[in-house]
Chain A
Amino acid sequence: MELRIEGVGTRLGGRWVVDGVDATPPDGALTGLLGPNGAGKTTLLRLVAGLLPPERGAVLVPDPDAPGARATVPVHALPRRRRARHVALLEQESNATVPLSVREVVALGRIPYRSLWGTDSDDGAVDRALAAASAAHLADRAWSTLSGGERQRVQIARALAQEPDLLLLDEPTNHLDVSAQLSLLAFVRDLGVTTVAALHDLNLAAAFCTHVLVLSQGRLAAAGAPADVLTPTLLREVYGVEAEVLVHPTTGRPVIALTGRSPEEGA
């Protein structure tokens, strides 16, 4: 999905947590949303998901009523159900209070397609989503028995069951072990769906993202290919750290080697 973020901003408790962000994440690729804690990553994802109306600017998506035409609409102005058929958001921490099976969790993603009486027009959608997320073998497990990596995979299957054109992930690699982090991001990268993922691990972002957006105190500090954006100067200004940016000997991707905190940064 062609996504255009135009001067978007919103306040929480009087403070501009997202302030005039302009960005055009590339179509069908993985975009990393970076920045220190409190930079506004989660709020920006909620704005892009259309769950929070922006006070300034707009997040524009293609008009689902006019496919093919170049018309765009603000995402928050779309009717809720219709929006949920195009945009899927996975929260950072999500846990169920009820004992669900994996299949039932994934079926939640079909809610935007269910009729008033709860019937789904597409029986196979849950199975396809499970298969696409390589989670078919988990289908009959109880959600509460899954490992962190398995849970993320199932959550992604739930998002895919929404058949989204835009996938928004908030810290999807949190609490995952290293191999699960790698396999999850490789999987998301290869989906071919426009994806924006908030990430806190700079090296993971550098290794997997086509494009990165760096937020600092609600503003966009930089945007572009990881190799162009993740420079020692930017890391010093945004994160307050000294780092060398190396080139990975086999992948050619940037590798960030931290050397310490910047002396002038107090916090």
Chain B
Amino acid sequence: MSPTDRPPLRPPLLLLLAVGVALLVLSVLVTVTIGPADLSVAEVARSVAGHLGLPVADVARLHDAIVWDLRLPRVLTAAAVGAGLAVAGAVMQSLTRNPLADPYLLGLSSGASLGAVAVLVLGVAVLLPVAAFAGALAALVATLALARTSGTLTPARAVLAGLAVSQLAAAGTSFVIFWTATGDSYREILSWLMGSLAGATWTSVAISGLALLLVGTVLVAAATRLDAFAFGDTSAAALGIDVDRTRWSLMTLVALLTGAMVAVSGAIGFVGLVLPHAVSVVTGPAHRRLLPVAAVTGAVFLVWADTLARTVFDPRELPVGIVTALIGVPVFAVLLRRGRGTAWS
């Protein structure tokens, strides 16, 4: 496909969100039933209703435990992380005017992983989200500083700098593993590197959900300011935007969001890179539409990707990062073809 002269079809935001949220609820209910133990949607619904204090018939205790203690926290974490990564990617792409920007490619995820792994081996897991945030922020600053040393911040430079920072953080993580890890902690650390939701608990739901809600709301409220960056910094400034303050405050929020997501799931790639582009084909680039729809789409996407990850090679579990890459790369290739001849090249 090449860019055409046809007016883009842009369905109303409320319709898109209604469809998205309905899909998400359905996806959660269905994916919770999928797995080694055979459950029905009705059982899932009854278990959830029971825990919410609604008067419903009891569910077998084992099934109830599988739903409430294992699968539901995992699926909800997947939803929050998917939403958070998609929003983080969309915001970074706009702020850096770089269609390739994403928490993973610019090194934020690796930085957050390093922070997470470091506190993990030090045995202070309580600090994990904080360390992941600090790692993401440090990586962001390092990437932007490195990309700027030789002049203006071009997309190619930012990606190359992100690659370097990623490698450095990965080397740091490898060093920590090499020096300290044994047996179980090795496995746990590995899941941070490849991205996995296997360890998700209700605490994970709380961390990722809260970060998504707080940061997501602020980012959606900043939608107009993000729109203003479409033609670059000078143009944004001429439209009355405080360019430096906006960029740094929103980037810090993205690092916060990424830190929270990596703290519960490790570094999952391609969600932040691919989903915003795919979603903007339908919503258009206006952030007031793009961000909420990207969030819901990211949630649905990661819920299913994680379900695939834990069931395809049952009883073995794949890190979900492998699944997102397997789906994300072909989608990205299609988007690259569509974008030929525009700002992508």
Residues of A within 8 A of B (CB): 46, 49, 51, 80-85, 87-89, 91, 94-101, 104-105, 108-109, 111-112, 114, 116-118, 140-142, 144-145, 162
Contacts and interface: CB of A to CB of B under 8 A. Distances in A.
B8 interface: yes
Interface of B: 3-8, 93-94, 97-99, 155, 221, 223-224, 227-228, 230-232, 234-235, 237-242, 280, 284-286, 288, 339, 341-343
Given A91-B234, A112-B239, A118-B224, A104 B286 contact: yes
Contacts of A97: 93, 97-99, 155, 230, 343
Contacts of B237: 51, 80
Contacts of B93: 97
A89 B238 contact: yes
B234 A80 contact: no
Given A100-B230, A101-B284, A142-B3, A109 B221 contact: no
26 contacts: A51-B234, A51-B237, A81-B240, A87-B238, A89-B238, A91-B231, A94-B232, A95-B343, A96-B343, A98-B99, A98-B280, A99-B280, A99-B285, A104-B286, A108-B227, A108-B228, A111-B224, A111-B227, A111-B240, A111-B241, A116-B221, A116-B224, A117-B288, A118-B223, A118-B286, A118-B288
Given A80-B241, A144-B341, A96 B5 contact: no
A118 B291 CA distance: 13
Contacts of A98: 94, 99, 230, 280, 285, 343
B230 A145 contact: no
Nearest to B232: A94
A112 to B, nearest CB: 4
A145 to B, nearest CB: 5
Closest 9 CB pairs of A and B: A84-B240, A140-B7, A98-B285, A81-B240, A97-B343, A80-B240, A89-B238, A144-B342, A112-B240
Contacts of B8: 99, 101, 140, 142
Contacts of A88: 238
B169 to A, nearest CB: 27
A145 B97 contact: no
A98 B223 CA distance: 15
B86 to A, nearest CB: 16
Q: Choose among A101, A111, A116 the residue with the greatest number of B CB atoms under 10 Å from its CB.
A: A111
Q: Choose among B8, B155, B234, B239 the residue with the greatest number of A CB atoms under 10 Å from its CB.
A: B239
> Binding site of A, secondary structure by majority: helix, strand, loop or mixed?
mixed
B5 A142 contact: yes
Nearest to B223: A118
A99 B280 CA distance: 8
Nearest to A52: B237
Nearest to B99: A97
A18 B345 CA distance: 35
Contacts of B230: 96-98, 100, 105, 108
Contact of A96 (B231, B240, B241, B339): B231
A144 B221 CA distance: 28
Q: Choose among B94, B97, B234 the residue with the greatest number of A CB atoms under 10 Å from its CB.
A: B234
A142 B269 CA distance: 30
A99 B3 contact: yes
Nearest to A82: B240
B239 A95 contact: no
A141 B240 contact: no
A108 B97 CA distance: 16
Q: Choose among B7, B231, B235, B238 the residue with the greatest number of A CB atoms under 10 Å from its CB.
A: B238
Nearest to B96: A97
B239 A162 contact: yes
Given A80-B240, A116-B221, A94 B4 contact: no
B9 to A, nearest CB: 11
A91 B233 CA distance: 10
